[in-house]
Structure 1
Amino acid sequence: MSKKTKGPFIPLNVAILTVSDTRTRANDTSGDLIQERLESAGHKLAARVILPDDVEKLRAQLRAWVADKSVDAVISTGGTGLTRRDVTPEAVAPLITKPIPGFGELFRWLSYEEIGTSTIESRALAGVADDTFIFCLPGSTGACRTGMDKIILPQLNATTGPCNLTEMLPRIRHDPAPK
């Protein structure tokens, strides 16, 4: 597996969405981890919001960030499980214009190494919404660490080879849609 280094690092503006009925800024350890990892890597925090498990509230916030051309990516934590309250995938799905199925597949494969078959309870997903990347991670801090360190940060790094999502962003934003 070749991991050649490519040209310069490009900082992205990333919004963080914590989906929880119980977390506050004081105890949002997963949001804290995501923010710390992003800023340590050189990215910029565009916004950080905590919202309850409510499809319409989540969708409204995500739509606002997708419409904001200064936001390059959104990373959510929470709401990807199997309970009735877990609604992040349902909120995100209608906004996705291009799914990235490999994200959820790879996340569950990596997670299997850490938590075994319990990984099937995660509905982690990612996609492109118009020209904004959206990544949905589970709410556990360990799951966020796995997703950030092993998938998201390398893909949001323009120096990662042979390819990465950051170098695709200009084409995503400017390529005409097929007719």
Structure 2
Amino acid sequence: MSKAGSVFIPAQLAVLTVSDSRTEADDTSGDYLREAAHEAGHRVVVSRIVKDNLYQIRAVVSAWIADPDVQVILINGGTGFSAHNTTPEALRPLFDREIEGFGELFRMASYEEIGTSTIQSRAIGGLANQTAIFAMPGSTRACRTAWERIIAEQLDARQRPCNFIPHLKALPQDDGTDENE
């Protein structure tokens, strides 16, 4: 038996694209996050696109927080500084605890790429019902920065000295029986 933290433990993820214009046909940021999670060994169990509406965002994320099969939620879009961007306002009331360092670290990494424009990013993270939630800007480049520079390592049980895997809800156990029997 290997010691704790020495093996990769796949997580089950949900991906939410917040956009007033994207569709499944052109959701490049959502596509990137789904592919990156899959390549890392995680399982994307559900994915959606919603309009940038505080209540629609909150409804979808609330349902996923309550879903026993969703351990991590990745959200792209709606984190800008425009008045219609509502993702942070939708999420904050749902958090049991905010992950302040996610937004701070994202802006630091983003500064290296886009300079002071990163000050208008309102990337945010938090934990709710043992579900990790990471909200980032909607550009594919920003999603790549967030995934490659922060999230991928924090969803890897081998990452030391700490990662988020021990903080996630346990998945329901498959007892091998068919519910329809």
TM-score calculated relative to the size of structure 2: 0.89
Where structure 2 has 5 or more consecutive residues not aligned to the other structure, the ranges are 171-181
Match of 2:42 in 1: 43
Say what the alpha-carbon RMSD is for the aligned residues: 1.4
Name the structure 2 match of 1:101: 100
Letter in 2 for 1:117: T
Quote the Cα distance in structure 2 between the aligned partners of 1:32 and 1:41: 14
- Paired with 1:46 and 1:101, the residues of 2 have a C-alpha distance of 26
In the alignment, the residues of structure 1 paired with residue 150 and residue 121 of structure 2 have an alpha-carbon distance, to the nearest angstrom, of 16
The 5 Å alignment of 1:125-140 reads 125-140=124-139
Is the contact made by 2:16 and 2:75 (CA closer than 8 Å) also made in structure 1?
yes
TM-score (norm 1): 0.90
> Which whole-Å deviations, capped at 9, do the CAs of 1:52-84 have from their partners, x for residues lacking one?
011111111011000001100100000000112
Aligned equivalent of 1:110: 109
The one-letter code sitting in structure 2 at the alignment partner of 1:19 is V
> Given residue 20 of structure 1, which amino acid in structure 2 is its aligned partner?
S
CA deviation after TM superposition for structure 1 residue 169, in Å: 2.7
Identity of aligned residues (%): 50
Q: Give the greater-gyration-radius structure (CA).
A: 2
Q: Which runs of 4+ in 1 moved over 4 A?
A: none
**Contact (CA 8 Å) 2:15, 2:74: kept in 1 or not?**
yes
Query: Which residue does the alignment assign to 1:177?
Result: none
Extract unaligned runs of 5+ from structure 1.
Answer: 172-179
Count of residues in Structure 1 that have an aligned counterpart in Structure 2: 167
CA contact (8 A) 2:78 2:137 kept: yes
Structure 1 Cα separation of the partners of residues 113 and 91 of structure 2? 26
Which residue number corresponds to residue 22 of structure 1?
21
- Give the residue type in structure 2 aligned to 1:23: R
